[in-house]
Amino acid sequence: FPQKKAATAPRIPPTRLALHHFDVTYSLQLRDRWPSVRAGLLCEQKYGALLNNFSAVRHVAQELELLNATDFVSPAPKKEAGRGDGVSPEGSGEGRTAVRAETVTQAGTSPPLRASICSNIRCYTFPRGDITRFRPARPDTLGLLDYYLMDAASLLPVLALNVQPDDFVLDLCAAPGGKTLALLQTGICVHLAANDVSISRTKRLYQILHSYVPREIRETVRVTSYDGRDWGQLEGGTFHKVLVDVPCTTDRHSVMEQDNNIFHRRRTKERQMLPMLQLQLLMAGILATKPGGEVVYSTCSLSPLQNEHVIERAVEVAETQYNISVQVEDLSHFRTLFQDTFSFFSDCRLGELVLPHLTANFGPMYFCKLRRM
């Protein structure tokens, strides 16, 4: 009888396994902030409406503004111009400032945001504490939808990439396609390669391009389904900008959804191997860039093992195995520019991390920028 009972006992669902794992690890990392972040992860995610500049639908911005939504991207250049002194925002923590001082000195100063933000990206969000939902997107006369609903924090890696006219750009892990679409919304990303190893996910990418982008623009995007880890050998030293938005534990999905959950017992080995896969993809991205080119690495995880540790290891591997010097760029100004919209983790050692928060329930979203010297 006890054996039968054991055989039929319900297995612990992967969402509970994920939450237990996060309780153990993230409470150490985030300390007194973890209860707030945990509550955010377990509540409905907040979205942004990325306006589709290819759609002929008029007055969408006015309609959203009447609902009290605002474009969080456009005001940034004015704040950036007002900043001008290169000073990191307050509250960055002493240890963090020390890391920053070294990287800023080596990397020098570069205009971080103005180009991309002036290139038409507009994304509307409701104010902090406002949990209004956006209506579904509507098609124009040609069938192109008027906006794309996404976690607004997902735009930050695209803004950090800072695409310039004539840049050759690679989106290495492009599906399902939100960041690829955002790159096209700049209006200047005319040499774009979008890759994803999964054929089924690549189909989703095609669907998004078809729903939002006119055919003549779609046809300029090179969509492929290679293993991203091989890209350094396929087309090394080719791109000015590379986005490496890697597979990760997708923390919010892991605590909310049973389907396709990385914490399912059958996927334990796959989950344990994630940091290695992430490192291999980031290295491929670094090798794919031209000297002087830039890579933005991103995850939707809070885990330092998938975030800062992958960055540190990549810098080390690039130096020791490939004799390539890679510089971590300073993105601390993002906290100043977007603090009204997102809740940032001030003690992130390298890169920036958006924390879920009940009043601003975006993320998690980690992003870090590297320059191949």
Q: What's the pLDDT tens digit per position in 17-31?
A: 999 999 999 999 999
Percent of the chain with pLDDT over 90: 81
Average pLDDT over residues 8-19: 84
Task: Quote the pLDDT of residue 299.
Answer: 98
Write the pLDDT tens digit of every residue in 117-160: 555 899 999 999 999 999 999 999 999 999 999 999 999 999 99
In the prediction, which pLDDT does 11 show?
A: 85
Residue 245 has pLDDT above 90, yes or no: yes
- Give the model's pLDDT for residue 3: 54
Output the pLDDT for position 4: 52
Measured CA to CA, the distance from residue 46 to residue 223 in angstroms comes to 29
For 280-295, what is each residue's pLDDT tens digit? 999 999 999 999 999 9
227 is in an annotated binding site: yes
The span from the CA of 161 to the CA of 207, in Å, is: 24
Q: Domain 152-372: which topology?
A: Rossmann fold (3.40.50)
Identify any residues that bridge with 246 across adjacent strands, giving them in sequence order: none
pLDDT at residue 90 is higher than 50: no
Can you tell me the mean pLDDT for 347-357?
A: 96
Residue 178 marked as a ligand binder: yes
Give the per-residue pLDDT at 102: 36
**What value, to the nearest 5°, has the Cα angle with vertex 103 and ends 302 and 369?**
45
Least confident range from 85-94, 151-160, 178-187, 224-233: namely 85-94
49 labelled binding-site residue: no
The bridge status of strand 221-224 relative to strand 191-195 is parallel
Q: How much is the pLDDT for 93?
A: 39
Distance (Å, rounded) from C-alpha 273 to C-alpha 277? 6
Res 94 pLDDT > 60:
no
Q: Are 306 and 282 in contact (CB under 8 A)?
A: no
Residue 80 predicted with pLDDT over 80: no
Other CB atoms within 10 A of residue 224 CB: 15
pTM of the model: 0.90
- pLDDT greater than 70 at residue 81: no
- Whole-number Å distance between alpha carbons of 349 and 346: 9
| 23 assigned binding-site residue | no
- The pLDDT of 206-234, averaged and rounded, is 95
Q: Where are the domains of the chain?
A: 152-372
176 assigned binding-site residue:
yes
Spell out the SS3 assignment of the chain.
Answer: CHHHHHHHCCCCCHHHHHHHHHHHHHHHHHHHHHHHHHHHHCCCCCCEEEECCCCCCCCHHHHHHHCCCEECCCCHHHHHHHHCCCCCCCCCCHHHHHHHHHHHHHHCCCCCCHHHHCCCCCEEECCCCCCCCCCCCCECCCCCECEEEECHHHHHHHHHHCCCCCCEEEECCCCCCHHHHHHHHCCCCCEEEEECCCHHHHHHHHHHHHHHCCHHHHCCEEEECCCHHHHHHHCCCCEEEEEEECCCCCHHHHHHCCCCCCCCHHHHHHHHCHHHHHHHHHHHHHHHEEEEEEEEEEECCCCCCCCHHHHHHHHHHHHHHHCCCEEECCCCHHHHHHCCCCEECCCCCCCEEEECCCCCCCCCEEEEEEEEC
**Confidence bin at 75 (pLDDT 50/70/90):** confident
Rounded to whole angstroms, how far apart are CA atoms 373 and 292?
Answer: 5
pLDDT at 76: 76
Residue range 71-97: mean pLDDT, rounded:
58
d(CA 6, CA 3): 5
Residue given tokens 């992860």 in the structure block: 41
- Taking only the tens place, the pLDDT of each residue in 276-330 is 999 999 999 999 999 999 999 999 999 999 999 999 999 999 999 999 999 999 9
How much is the average pLDDT of 87-109? 37
Query: What is the structure's pLDDT at 334?
Result: 95
| Residue 179, annotated as binding a ligand | yes
Q: Is residue 196 part of an annotated ligand binding site?
A: yes
Report the catalytic residues: 300
Average pLDDT, the chain: 89
In sign, the C-alpha dihedral spanning 300, 278, 186, 147 is negative
Longest dimension (CA), the chain: 74
Q: What is the pLDDT of residue 98?
A: 33
Look at residue 170 and tell me whether its pLDDT is greater than 70.
yes
Instruction: Determine the pLDDT at residue 120.
Output: 85
